[in-house]
Amino acid sequence: MEKRNLPNGTAVLILGILSIVTCCCYGFIGLTLGIIAVVLANKDLKMYQESPELYLNYKNLNIGRILGIIGIVLSALTMLAFVYLYSLGPERLLEFQKNLEAKAKYQQEQSQ
């Protein structure tokens, strides 16, 4: 029997890459794409495990699944960071920003 590609192997790889690229968009986009990548990868992984001799692009599927998991983690961390910063309130956020600017200015002065 002729070997063929897994149905969602390339899609999982693309979704995994996009989940990492878009993890900084408030976390929602990257989280959604990562979850879709992992779900599609698990579906195709079951097909591959039933008959591995029939399929070619298992490596793409596995890499896409790993990238999807990384994208989920990064997106979750981004969402937590945004929730934390939002919970500070506008006054404390401005204070936080001023402290960062002061530290950056101090480091620039030290490097010169």
**Could you report the per-residue pLDDT of 27-64, keeping only the tens digit for each?**
899 999 999 999 999 999 999 999 999 999 899 999 99
**Do the beta carbons of residue 31 and residue 78 sit within 8 Å?**
no
Residue ranges per structural domain of the chain: 9-86
Amino acid 26: pLDDT = 85
Query: First CA to last CA across the chain, in angstroms?
Result: 69
Given pLDDT bands bounded at 50, 70 and 90, which one contains residue 93?
A: confident
